[in-house]
Structure 1
Amino acid sequence: MTVTEDEKKRPKGERAGKKRGSLRETVGLIAIGVVIALLLQAFVIGQFWIPSESMQNTLQIGDRVIVNKLHGSADRGDIIVFRGWDGSDTIKRVIAVGGDTVECCDAKRRISVNGVPLDEIYVHPDDYPSKRKFKTKLAAGKLWVMGDHRTASSDSREEYNGPVDEDDVIGRAFAIIWPFSRATILSRPETFARVR
Structure 2
Amino acid sequence: MTQDPRPEGESARQHVVEPHYDGPAAESVAGTSSNRATARSPRPRHPVLAFVREVVVIGATALLISFLIKTFLVQAFWIPSGSMESTLVYGDRVLVSKIQAGPMAVDRGDIIVFEDPGGWLPPAPPSDRGAVMDTLVTIAKFIGVAPEGESNHLIKRVIGVGGDHVVCCDDQQRITVNGEPLNETYLFAGDEPSLENFDITVPEDSYWMMGDHRSYSRDSRAHDDGTGTAGSVPGDRVVGQAMVLVWPLDRFDWFGNPTDVFGSVPDAGTQ
Q: TM-score scaled by structure 1?
A: 0.86
CA distance in 1, matches of 2:175, 2:169: 5
> Tell me, which stretches of 5 or more residues in structure 2 are unaligned?
1-38, 122-151, 267-271
> Tell me, which stretches of 5 or more residues in structure 1 are unaligned?
1-10
Q: How much does 1:61 deviate?
A: 0.8
- Aligned match of 1:58: 87
1:126-180: CA deviations, max 9, x gaps?
A: 1010011111111211100000000100011122661100110011111111100
Q: How much does 1:42 deviate?
A: 2.6
Q: Which residue identity is paired with 2:44?
A: A
Tell me if structure 2 keeps the 8 A contact 1:175–1:183.
Answer: yes
1:177 correspondence with 2:246 = yes
Secondary structure of the 1:31 match is helix
Q: Which residue identity is paired with 1:75?
A: D
Q: How much does 1:33 deviate?
A: 2.5
| Residue 235 of structure 2, aligned match among 155, 163, 166 | 166
| Residue 188 of structure 2, aligned match among 102, 124, 128 | 124
- Aligned match of 1:49: 78
Identity of aligned residues (%): 42
Secondary structure of the 2:68 match is helix
1:95-136: CA deviations, max 9, x gaps?
A: 000011111101110001111101100011110100111111
Tell me if structure 2 keeps the 8 A contact 1:79–1:92.
Answer: yes
Q: How much does 1:30 deviate?
A: 3.9
| Residue 14 of structure 1, aligned match among 14, 29, 42 | 42
- Aligned match of 2:110: 78
Secondary structure of the 2:256 match is coil
Segment drifting more, 90-99 vs 159-168: 159-168
- Aligned match of 1:108: 172
- Aligned match of 2:264: 194
Q: How much does 1:32 deviate?
A: 2.1
CA distance in 1, matches of 2:191, 2:41: 75
Tell me if structure 2 keeps the 8 A contact 1:112–1:118.
Answer: yes
Secondary structure of the 2:44 match is helix
Secondary structure of the 2:263 match is helix
- Aligned match of 1:28: 57
CA distance in 2, matches of 1:182, 1:133: 34
The CA RMSD measured in Å over matched residues stands at: 2.3
Segment drifting more, 86-95 vs 125-134: 86-95
Segment drifting more, 27-36 vs 161-170: 27-36
Q: 1:41 to 1:15 in 2, by over 3 A?
A: same
Q: Which residue identity is paired with 1:55?
A: M
Tell me if structure 1 keeps the 8 A contact 2:75–2:96.
Answer: yes
Secondary structure of the 2:157 match is strand
Aligned length: 186
- Aligned match of 2:204: 140
| Residue 90 of structure 1, aligned match among 154, 159, 163 | 154
Q: 1:12 to 1:127 in 2, by over 3 A?
A: farther
- Aligned match of 2:97: 68
Bigger Rg, which one? 2
